[in-house]
Amino acid sequence: MENKIYILDSNVFIWFFYEDDSLHDLSLKILEELKSSKIIVPYCVIQEVCSIFSIRFWKQIADNFLYFLLETDNFELINNDVYDEVSHFLEFKDKISFTDLSLIMISKKYWAELITFDKQLLKLYWNS
């Protein structure tokens, strides 16, 4: 993939660390292909991934994810603009998670391509 900016949905990171799933290999391939590209990691993704790992699996995998983010040079961790996201969420009429809508907003703000395994999110992203 060419050298541009990307945002990865939480599911890409989850399957990257969860080796027993069929999407693990695809997540590995995506992160390998993007290793020289800038990847924006919003707070909402970090929160979601750590929560899922800590609750469904064990905290150590959440810790490993955080170390991975901090030690990978092409990741840029950012804070969300919660007020804009709340306003946008309140105005949005379709069924969507707050995090997914935030990812769409952030991807537009940074001119970043969103990568996700969620077909509904991808459809909303491309139609927004």
Q: What is the pLDDT of residues 60-114, one digit of tens each?
A: 999 999 999 999 999 999 987 888 889 888 998 888 889 999 999 999 999 999 9
Q: What is the pLDDT of residue 29?
A: 94
Q: Which domain holds residue 92?
A: 5-127
22-26, 31-35, 115-119: the lowest-pLDDT one: 22-26
The CATH number of the domain where 57 resides is what?
Answer: 3.40.50.1010
Q: Who wins on pLDDT, 1 or 11?
A: 11
Question: Per-residue pLDDT tens for 37-49?
Answer: 999 999 999 999 9
Q: How many domains does the chain have?
A: 1
The DSSP string of 4-43 is -EEEE-HHHHHHHH-TTSTTHHHHHHHHHHTTTSEEEEEH
